[in-house]
Each structure stands twice: as C-alpha cells, then as structure tokens.
Amino acid sequence: MKYWMPFEWIAAIRFLREGRMQSLLIIVGVGVGVAVIVFMSALLSGLQANLVKRTLSSQAHIVLLPPEEIARPQSPPAGIALRLQKQAQRLRSIDQWQQIQARLEGLPEIAAISPIAAGPAFVVRGDANKAITLLGIDPVRYSGVIALPERMVAGQLRIGAGEAVIGIELAKDLGADIGDKIRITTAGDATETFTVTGLFDLGNKGVNGRNVYVSLRSAQSLLDLVGGVSSIDISLHDIDEAERLASKIAAETGLTADSWIKTNAQFVTALTSQRVSSNVIRFFIGLSVAFGIASVLVVSVIQRAREIGILRAMGASQGQMLRIFLLQGGIVGFFGSLLGSGLAWLFLMLWRLMARNPDGTPMFIIGVDPWLVAIAAGGASLVGILSALLPARRAARLDPVVAIRG
Amino acid sequence: MADLVTNPVLQLTGIRKSYGSGETESEILHGIDLRLERGEFSALIGPSGSGKSTLLNLIGLLDRPSGGQLFIDGQETGQLDDTGLTRLRGQRIGFVFQHHHLIPAFTALENVAMPLLVARGRPDADMFAQAGTLLDQVGLAERKQNLANQLSGGQQQRVAIARALAMSPSLVLADEPTGNLDTHSADDVFALLREVNTRLNTTFLIVTHDRRLAARCDRIIEMVDGDIVADTRHQAATN
Ligand SMILES: Nc1ncnc2c1ncn2[C@@H]1O[C@H](COP(=O)(O)OP(=O)(O)OP(=O)(O)O)[C@@H](O)[C@H]1O
Ligand SMILES: [Mg+2]
C-alpha cells in the first residue's frame, strides 16, 4: 500500500483492479471514443488549415479598393421617373495611397502591405492571345502578402523594366517559356513588350492562367495610372481577425475593404458548418462514453453493496464513499483517454501512409497536437467524474443495514 | 475520559423500531430497556425473527430507532446527524458479522488496518504495526499478506475480530459470529472473543443461536417478538 495515497484513492484503485475485466472493457470503450474524437479533430483541423492555406496562397487577407462611386441623379426634372444605375467602375487610383499605406504600417495586426496597380489587359504571342490581369507590384512587398518566391517553378521572380513573370497555365496557353517575348496591350491601346523571366504555380488554375506580374511602374503606365495604385493588398498575423480589421480600416480610410472571409463567404460558411457538425458528433460520442462509464459503475455499486456496507460500519463517511466512486469514474476516463490518444496517433500514422497525393507526398500533414491530448485527458477525466456522479451518490446513500444483510 | 469510567457502555431506554408507514407499518421492537456495563460479555438469544439483528443494528448506529433513547458511553445519539453517527460508530463500536466479513480486494493485514485508515484518511506505518500485532494475537501471524478470500472461514472470522478491535472500541457487536463455522472453529472463535474480553475489558454483545455458547457468557438476554423476556447474569459460566 502506498503510504502517500489517501484512503479514497487506495480503495478506488483496488476496486478497479479487482474488477479487472469490467475496468478493462470500459477503459477500452472510453479509449475508442476518445480516439475517434482526437482523430476526427486532428483530421478536421488539418484538413481545414490546409484548405484555408490553399485558398489564401493566391489571395490577400484584406484588399483595399477605392470607394465605390455612387450614382447620383442630377436633380431630375419633375415627373420623370428616377432611374438609378450602378455605374461601371472604371479603373481609378486610391487617393493619397502613400499616406494610407504609411498609416496602415502602424497597425500591429498587419504583417505586410503591398500596393498594386492592376487592371485588365491582353497578352499576345504569335497567333495566341489571351485576356489577362496585369499586376504591377513591388516584389519585396508583394512577397509579404503572397508567397510568390516560394511558388516559382522556373526562372526567378525578377521584374525589372521589360520583364514579366507569368503563371504556368498561361505559359502553356501561349506556348511561352523563360526568355520568350510577350506583348501586352491594354484597353487604352498602350502596348509594351516583355521578356518572361519566371513561371509561377500558385496552386489555382484560374490564377495561373490569368495573372501576369510586372513592375509597378510598367503597369502604371500601361494602365494609365501613373503614380497611382488600384488596390492595396494586406496580410495579417491572424487570419481570423480579417473581418474585424477590414471594417476598422474601411471606417478609418473611407476605402472599400474586402476581407478574405467576405470574398470567400461560401467557403467560410462551409468550413463553419463542418466544424459545427463535427462538434455535434463529438458531443454525442462524449455522451455515449459517459453513459458507458455510468452504467458500469452502477453495476459496480450494486456488486459492492456489501463492501460499501462494511466500510460504512467501520466508520467510513458518506463523503468517503462518494469520492471512492467519483474517483473510479475519473480514473477510468483518464486511462481511457491515454489509450484513446495512443490509438488516435496510430490512426493518424496509418492515414499518413494511405492518404497520399499522386506524386507520393502526404496529402496534408496532420499531427497529434500535445494540447489536444492534454485536453482529451482532462476532458475524459472530467466526463468520467461527472458520469460517476449518479452511481457515487447511490453508493453514498446506500443503507448499510440493507447492504450488510445482503 | 470521565464518562468512560462513570457511564455504562450502552444504555437503551424505550427503544422502538417500526418498519413501513401507514397501513403497512409494523413495530418490530416494542420499547427495549437495556444497560451494558463495561467489560460485560453478554449473549443475545431468541427465536428467528424476534428482532435481535434489528436491535444490534440500532445499537451499532447503522440504523435509527423510531422512538426511545440510545446512549453510547453516556452520549445521547438521537441528535447526531449521519456524520456524527458515523464518527461515533467508527471510534466506539466494532462489528463482527456472520457473512461477508472482509473486503476481498485487500489483504488480511490491510483489512485489519482498514478502520484506522478510514479514520486517519492516509496509511501510515503505525497502523500496519498495530494491525500486525492484532493478527499475531488472533493467531494469524503467517497469513498477513493473504487476500481475504485466500483464508478459511474460521481464519476470516479471526481477521474480522482483529479488525473489530483495531480502533480499541468500547463495545463489540457480533451477529452470529460462529453461525457459519463448524463446532471446532466456533469454539476457537468464541474463546478468542472471551480472551479479548478478559485482557482488554472490552464489552461484548453476541447474538447466537448456540445455547451451549450462550451458557458460557456472563449474561444471557433473551428476546421474543421484539421484547426482552429474560435477562440473567451468572458468574459461574466463565469458561
Ligand atoms: N427492512 C425491514 N423491513 C420490514 N421488516 C423488517 C425489516 N428488517 C427486518 N424486518 C422484520 O423484523 C423482524 C426481526 O428481524 P431480525 O432480522 O431483527 O430478526 P432476528 O432476530 O435477527 O432473526 P434471525 O435469528 O433469523 O437472524 C422480522 O420479522 C423481519 O421480517
Ligand atoms: Mg439476525
């Protein structure tokens, strides 16, 4: 007998050890439940993080645009019905964008800011021509928002005068490669010839086929935006803050601020409902684990009625009996959660082996977060204690006379 | 403590016990008066269903009377709540039962130390030393580490007696302690109780159906249908 252990712990452990088969079965039961919860949580958060990462690999967290021009009727003559029409937005520069950029630099939530001159254009090479989005960027600033340097698959991210970087999809459409010349024409009939210096793959077919990066200055002159920018891309330290910060910036600057959460509303809603449904599943698994523990302990209280009566006759209090059975629930929950975390780890290893991309790399990396294990252990112990509440109260209130008479 | 010297170990006045309520209410004990002096070695006899176990459970504070007063070492017990009753029971009263005496998940030594463990909350070396001495005294020095169900019936009952003595109680209540044993073991167990009684001056109240054993007690209290009908003391019977 361990001298440091209180009586209740000693009795709880002995009772569990004596009912070896029962204890083992319920611990395995708890373990399977915990394993499913941990595995599901790890899988879901890995999957969602991966989806979000992919989505954001070619998108800024917040995009600032000039305020929308609101069509105003010019004091209409009486009797004529008002006709309001949304004006087609022409390419406009953001007023005083340097000051705005300087002001944003002071916000601690912001990781990077990149002013951009972007607009529609055509690219021509030989017989091939394609509609594109021409983006004039400062490569250093832009890399803080979108990890373009890491996404280069050929050449390099070099956009001096007369140099352009295009996506792999566009390169295929045009039959262009590093060193080839392409001609870019805008709506204002401005034209310039560029040498392709790099090819990128942002993991999005549309973007790979549409985006053409050139220097800010080239884009400004082609798009008739000299000295101006059409948007400011922002990346944040915490992507979940995007919506709050977008509203704040919009209010402060009067610009339109679109967060990725708003731009991808459907996607975000899908993620949220995925989380909600997985929480519902987790809740019900937890509930069935709790009922499992409770039912085993109810049976154990009945089986141990005599021993409970004898202990009471020897001066054990109701509180002591209560704690002995609460502890049994907690211990079963705790060891079940350890087993479950081990099982979940095993499942994840298997998953890693089986779920692979065609090229053999893991589909996405998921690991068992130590925090998740700690939370599972704490949660399962708590669930164990809570589910033991009813049986333990029964044990405490057992009439020793009835119990001893057996 | 002064009350240990001046007060009787047990005093019952007008103890009643009924079961059920309303139409189904039936009174099992009809006003029992009884006083046990310190060191008395008494037998409680009577036909089956006469209320012996019911009375013993009341005296042992496992149950509450429907009426009357019950004093243990001079302390009135009617006002105590469950915690108070439990504490008094743990400190002043030892039990020996006919069946299911021990807790099978523990060894003989641990079973004997159990009342001390329950009272102190944590194990210590002293309680096991004490339990070991008690097991030596009941002749089980060799069986200390056996689990309860690795002992014979008679051995288990000796362990139970050692356990009942662990807290040095004022009163030991035994409900048919030899009912489950053959004549030889029954005599041994009875002799052991008697020996403890003479050595420690512990008060015993023993329910038995065995007239032969009852005759060897200092006092025989006889119950019939919930009343004490005879109460005889005789010195000559001492072994
Ligand atoms: N919980 C109860 N509810 C109703 N009646 C009870 C209850 N417990 C005991 N009785 C009744 O009380 C009476 C006395 O029972 P008790 O067990 O005290 O008898 P006893 O003298 O110990 O008998 P035995 O020698 O067979 O052990 C019996 O008629 C029994 O049916
Ligand atoms: Mg009886």
Q: With helix as H, strand as E and coil as C, how does A159-207 read?
A: CCCCEEEEEHHHHHHHCCCCCCEEEEECCCCCEEEEEEEEEECCCCHHH
**Cα B48 to averaged position of ligand 2 atoms, centre (Å):** 7
Give A5's contacts in chain B (Cβ within 8 Å).
Answer: 122-123
- pLDDT tens digits, one per residue of B78-132: 999 999 999 999 999 999 988 757 999 899 999 999 999 999 999 999 999 999 9
Q: Which residues pair with A123 in a beta bridge?
A: A130, A184
Q: What is the pLDDT of residue B5?
A: 58
Give B163's contacts in chain A (Cβ within 8 Å).
Answer: 314
A188 and A321 inside one domain: no
The answer to whether position A246 is within a domain reads yes
**Cα B12 to averaged position of ligand 1 atoms, centre (Å):** 19
CB-based contact B62 A312, cutoff 8 Å: yes
Residue A405 Cα: closest atom of ligand 1: 17
Instruction: Give yes or no for a contact between A215 and A127, defined as CB atoms under 8 angstroms apart.
Output: no
Q: What is the pLDDT of residue A314?
A: 92
- Average pLDDT of B137-151? 90
Q: For A356, phi and psi rounded to 5 degrees? A: -130, 155
Query: How does DSSP classify residue B174?
Result: E
Q: Where are the alpha helices (DSSP H) in B93-124?
A: 108-120
pLDDT at A24 over 80: yes
The answer to whether position B64 is within a domain reads yes
Q: Give how far A385 is from chain B: nearest CA, Å.
A: 21
User: Among partner residues B100, B119, B124, which is closest to A406 by beta-carbon distance?
Assistant: B100
The answer to whether position B24 is within a domain reads no
Give A18's contacts in chain B (Cβ within 8 Å).
Answer: 104-105
Q: What are A356's two structure tokens?
A: 């692979």
A151 and A219 inside one domain: yes
A197 and A291 inside one domain: no
CB-based contact A314 B57, cutoff 8 Å: no
Q: What is the pLDDT of residue A363?
A: 66
The answer to whether position A379 is within a domain reads yes
**Looking at ligand 1, which residue's alpha carbon is closest to its atom 28?**
B49
Q: What is the pLDDT of residue B235?
A: 63
A177 and A207 inside one domain: yes
The answer to whether position A81 is within a domain reads no
Q: Find the domain containing A390 and state its range.
A: 7-54+268-405
pLDDT at A154 over 60: yes
Give B58's contacts in chain A (Cβ within 8 Å).
Answer: none
Q: What is the pLDDT of residue A352?
A: 79
B164 vs B119: CA distance, rounded Å: 14
A170 and A229 inside one domain: yes
pLDDT at A88 over 80: no
Query: Among residues A258, A279, A309, which one ends one of the domains?
Result: A258
A226 vs B28: CA distance, rounded Å: 108
- Pick the residue from chain B with its C-alpha nearest to A307: B103
Torsion, Cα A238 A242 A245 A251, to 10 degrees, reads 170
The answer to whether position A307 is within a domain reads yes
A36 vs A33: CA distance, rounded Å: 5
Numbered residues of chain A with Cβ closer than 8 Å to any chain B Cβ: 1-7, 10, 14-15, 17-18, 306-307, 310-318, 320, 399-401, 404-406
**Looking at ligand 1, which residue's alpha carbon is closest to its atom 19?**
B49
Q: How many domains does chain A have?
A: 2
The answer to whether position A202 is within a domain reads yes
Nearest alpha-carbon partner for A196 in A210, A217, A213: A213
The answer to whether position A89 is within a domain reads no
Pick the residue with more confidence: A83 or B198? B198
A184 CA to centre of own chain? 38
Q: What is the pLDDT of residue A395?
A: 94
The answer to whether position B21 is within a domain reads no
**Looking at ligand 1, which residue's alpha carbon is closest to its atom 8?**
B54
Highest mean pLDDT among A66-70, A143-147, A187-191: A143-147
User: Among partner residues B103, B117, B122, which is closest to A310 by beta-carbon distance?
Assistant: B103
Residue B46 Cα: closest atom of ligand 1: 21
The pLDDT-based confidence of B239 (bands split at 50, 70, 90) is very low
Instruction: Give yes or no for a contact between A38 and A376, defined as CB atoms under 8 angstroms apart.
Output: yes
Q: Give how far A315 is from chain B: nearest CA, Å.
A: 4
Query: Among residues A196, A223, A258, which one ends one of the domains?
Result: A258
A118 and A48 inside one domain: no
Query: Among residues A211, A236, A258, which one ends one of the domains?
Result: A258
Mean residue pLDDT of chain B comes to 90
The answer to whether position B22 is within a domain reads no
- pLDDT tens digits, one per residue of A324-356: 999 999 999 999 999 999 999 888 888 878 877
In terms of C-beta density within 10 A (0-12 exposed, 13-18 middle, 19 or more buried), how is residue A331 classed?
buried
A41 and A124 inside one domain: no
A149 and A31 inside one domain: no
CB-based contact B90 A315, cutoff 8 Å: yes
Q: What percent of chain A has pLDDT over 70?
A: 91
**Cα A215 to averaged position of ligand 1 atoms, centre (Å):** 101
**Cα A404 to averaged position of ligand 1 atoms, centre (Å):** 13
Q: What percent of chain A has pLDDT over 90?
A: 59
The pLDDT-based confidence of A70 (bands split at 50, 70, 90) is low
A116 and A222 inside one domain: yes
pLDDT at A8 over 90: yes
Q: Give how far A403 is from chain B: nearest CA, Å.
A: 11
Instruction: Give yes or no for a contact between B190 and B210, defined as CB atoms under 8 angstroms apart.
Output: no
pTM across the whole model: 0.79
Which residue has tokens 């002071």? A106
Q: What is the pLDDT of residue B4?
A: 53
Give A311's contacts in chain B (Cβ within 8 Å).
Answer: 103, 114, 118
The answer to whether position B239 is within a domain reads no
Instruction: Give yes or no for a contact between A193 and A182, defined as CB atoms under 8 angstroms apart.
Output: yes
Residue of B19, B32, B56 with the most ligand 1 atoms within 8 Å of its CB, for mutation: B19
Pick the residue with more confidence: A234 or B181? A234
- Average pLDDT of A41-53? 86
Question: Residue B44 CA: which ligand is closest?
Answer: 1
A312 and A348 inside one domain: yes
Interface test with B, best of A2, A8, A314, A321 (most B CBs within 10 A): A314
Q: What is the pLDDT of residue B237?
A: 45
pLDDT at B54 over 60: yes
- Pick the residue from chain A with its C-alpha nearest to B115: A314
User: Among partner residues B95, B99, B121, which is closest to A313 by beta-carbon distance?
Assistant: B95
pLDDT at A81 over 60: no
CB-based contact A3 B124, cutoff 8 Å: yes
A245 and A317 inside one domain: no
Poorest-pLDDT segment among A74-78, A99-103, B146-150: A74-78
pLDDT at A79 over 70: no
The answer to whether position B59 is within a domain reads yes
- Pick the residue from chain B with its C-alpha nearest to A18: B105
Q: Give how far B103 is from chain A: nearest CA, Å.
A: 6
- Pick the residue from chain A with its C-alpha nearest to B93: A314
Q: How many domains does chain B have?
A: 1
A225 and A289 inside one domain: no
**Looking at ligand 1, which residue's alpha carbon is closest to its atom 4?**
B19
The pLDDT-based confidence of A87 (bands split at 50, 70, 90) is very low
- Average pLDDT of A213-226? 92
pLDDT at A89 over 80: no
Residue A401 Cα: closest atom of ligand 1: 1
- pLDDT tens digits, one per residue of B187-238: 988 999 999 999 999 999 999 999 999 999 999 999 999 999 999 987 644 4
Q: Give how far B121 is from chain A: nearest CA, Å.
A: 5
Q: What is the pLDDT of residue B238?
A: 47
Q: Find the domain containing B50 and state its range.
A: 8-15+30-233
User: Among partner residues B57, B100, B118, which is closest to A306 by beta-carbon distance?
Assistant: B100
- Pick the residue from chain A with its C-alpha nearest to B126: A3
CB-defined site of ligand 1, < 6 Å: B 19, 28, 46, 48-54
- Average pLDDT of A253-263? 90
- Average pLDDT of A184-211? 91
User: Among partner residues B97, B100, B117, which is closest to A7 by beta-carbon distance?
Assistant: B117
- Dihedral-angle region of residue B51 (phi above 0 means left; psi in -120 to 50 means alpha; beta otherwise): left
B130 vs B221: CA distance, rounded Å: 33
- What CATH number is attached to the domain comprising B61? 3.40.50.300
User: Among partner residues B105, B110, B119, which is closest to A315 by beta-carbon distance?
Assistant: B119
